[in-house]
A = this chain, B = another copy of it.
Amino acid sequence: MKINIPETDKKRIVIVGGGFAGLKLALKVARNKEYQVVLLDKNNYHQFQPLFYQVAMAGLEPSSIVFPLRKAFRKNQDVYIRVTEVKAVDTANKQLETSLGICNYDYLVLAIGADTNFFGNQKMAELAIPMKSVSEALFLRNRILSDFEKALSTTDYDERQGLMDIVVVGGGPTGVEVSGALAEMKRYVFPKDYPELNTDEIDIYLVQGAGQLLVGMSEQSSKKSLEFLTQLGVKVRLNTLVTDFDGEYVRMNDGETIRARKLIWAAGITGNKLKGMPDASLTHGNRIKVNRFNQVEGIEDVYAIGDIAYMEEDNYPKGHPQVAQVAMQQAQALAKNFQLRHQGKELIPFSYHDLGSMATIGRNRAVVDLPRFKFQGAFAWLVWMFVHLFQILGVKNKVFVFLNWVWNYLTYDQSLRLIIRPRVPRNGDVEVES
């Protein structure tokens, strides 16, 4: 079966993935109307990953940080969005196998991103809680809240510890942001919601393999983030690895064992795989090797952008960091190159302009590294908020996220503490999708 998309005179660009890279590319290429654009994603929305942790912490609704793809392309009639799973690629015949049928392409752009890396630990993959999608963030929210409800009915001290304590693994931005946010919930929210519990009993651990937090940011930021987290009461374990987790106990390589039913895994990512892509095109972290034009070498008319792409540049001999900035800049550059190609002009090689990086730890506590100067604290926190607000897609989302933040700031409250479960149909089965 063939996917139901009209064939036109225009060359067809098929983009797989509606993340920062794929969405940006589709929007840019669509504007010039030189190609037929097909955008494939398994969801009907674009997700704003940097704020997943706020969904997990009951501070924002999923709808505020995701955006319907169809809404983004309302003005572009020549963009075909299909919500489907891409199963494999056949580069010889230039076609994709999807759950909606075969989709042929003239140019294929893989923007399939990366997923949580459990480094082959199957037990961890089953029991730890990752946070790489809005569904996983919601799951974490439900877990935290329902474990607190269980803690209320638990008279055994150790068992209650297991329900209330949380271990976060990975000292990158996600790990730092989650553990900071949890520490603030412990301080401001839980005591009011659970007067029956002694919330001093709650311990938040952040376990980091390296000797510092926020590797990749400045030393100043690393140090300050550690200081901020310590102020908030997070127990940071540097130079420490989690060696085992059985759903009840977390074991570390220094011999420490913590009773905690929730282990949040933010320790690394690995490129998503697509069947049919030759192993030779992959490099470490499962990333796809591309040249300076984001072309996958040796495979005609196949491109990769964003987290999945691995490109070496003079300043980045080991590839770019897997962040939104790179994804969006590559999308922009590739869109330009598609235009140049259409006009028969010479292509321009990509080069990355680092605009800086930042992370937030809590109220008035953030760290910002700009190319020319670095700062931490309340002003950094304001900068963090406005930069993120600016990047969220859609005016309404910006307004609602902003209002939520103001509200939460003034009331010291995240009010979305709801355990909303999928409906259970009348026949007793569990419904995942229809």
With a CB–CB cut-off of 8 A, which chain B residues contact A66?
Answer: 418, 420
With a CB–CB cut-off of 8 A, which chain B residues contact A274?
Answer: none
Binds B, one of A145-153, A165-173, A180-188, A358-366: A145-153
- CB < 8 Å neighbour of A68 from B83, B135, B396, B417: B417
Tell me the chain A residues, 59-99 only, with Cβ under 8 Å from chain B.
61-63, 66, 68, 70-71, 74, 77, 80, 82-83
Q: Are A149 and B195 in contact (CB under 8 A)?
A: no
Q: Are A74 and B394 in contact (CB under 8 A)?
A: no
Q: Are A71 and B101 in contact (CB under 8 A)?
A: no
Q: Are A146 and B434 in contact (CB under 8 A)?
A: yes
- CB < 8 Å neighbour of A426 from B82, B126, B145, B421: B126
12 A-B pairs with C-beta separation under 8 A:
A44-B418, A61-B61, A82-B149, A82-B152, A83-B419, A100-B153, A135-B420, A138-B420, A142-B433, A143-B434, A146-B433, A421-B433
How near does chain B come to A148, taking the closest CB pair, in angstroms? Answer: 9
Binding site for B on A (CB under 8 A): 3-4, 43-45, 61-63, 66, 68, 70-71, 74, 77, 80, 82-83, 100-101, 118, 125-126, 133-136, 138-139, 142-143, 145-147, 149, 152-155, 192-196, 394, 396, 399-400, 403, 407, 415-427, 430-434
Q: Are B430 and A430 in contact (CB under 8 A)?
A: yes
The distance in angstroms between the C-alpha atoms of A421 and B138, with both chains bound, is 10
The distance in angstroms between the C-alpha atoms of A327 and B109, with both chains bound, is 58
The distance in angstroms between the C-alpha atoms of A423 and B143, with both chains bound, is 12
Q: A4-B154, A403-B403, A418-B63 are in contact. Are A193 and B70 (CB under 8 A)?
A: yes
With a CB–CB cut-off of 8 A, which chain B residues contact A126?
Answer: 425-427
Quickly give the copy total for this chain.
2
Query: Which residue of chain B has its CB nearest to the CB of A149?
Result: B83
Query: Which residue of chain B has its CB nearest to the CB of A423?
Result: B135
- A-B contacts besides A142-B433, A143-B434, 14 pairs, CB < 8 Å: A4-B153, A4-B155, A45-B419, A71-B193, A74-B193, A82-B149, A83-B149, A83-B419, A118-B426, A138-B420, A394-B415, A424-B432, A430-B430, A430-B432
- CB < 8 Å neighbour of A45 from B139, B143, B418, B425: B418
Q: Are B135 and A44 in contact (CB under 8 A)?
A: no
Q: Are B396 and A415 in contact (CB under 8 A)?
A: yes
The distance in angstroms between the C-alpha atoms of A434 and B147, with both chains bound, is 9
The distance in angstroms between the C-alpha atoms of A155 and B100, with both chains bound, is 12
Q: Are B419 and A43 in contact (CB under 8 A)?
A: yes
Query: Which residue of chain B has its CB nearest to the CB of A66?
Result: B418
The distance in angstroms between the C-alpha atoms of A423 and B241, with both chains bound, is 27
How near does chain B come to A434, taking the closest CB pair, in angstroms? Answer: 5
The distance in angstroms between the C-alpha atoms of A126 and B139, with both chains bound, is 26
- CB < 8 Å neighbour of A432 from B44, B71, B82, B421: B421
The distance in angstroms between the C-alpha atoms of A80 and B417, with both chains bound, is 17
The distance in angstroms between the C-alpha atoms of A103 and B159, with both chains bound, is 22
How near does chain B come to A182, taking the closest CB pair, in angstroms? Answer: 17
The distance in angstroms between the C-alpha atoms of A421 and B425, with both chains bound, is 15
How near does chain B come to A191, taking the closest CB pair, in angstroms? Answer: 10
With a CB–CB cut-off of 8 A, which chain B residues contact A400?
Answer: 400, 403
How near does chain B come to A115, taking the closest CB pair, in angstroms? Answer: 10
With a CB–CB cut-off of 8 A, which chain B residues contact A133?
Answer: 423
Query: Which residue of chain B has its CB nearest to the CB of A432?
Result: B430
Q: Are B134 and A420 in contact (CB under 8 A)?
A: yes
Of A74, A396, A407, most buried by chain B (CB within 10 Å of CB) is: A396
The distance in angstroms between the C-alpha atoms of A87 and B146, with both chains bound, is 19
The distance in angstroms between the C-alpha atoms of A407 and B433, with both chains bound, is 30
Q: Are A415 and B136 in contact (CB under 8 A)?
A: no
- CB < 8 Å neighbour of A192 from B45, B74, B394, B407: B74
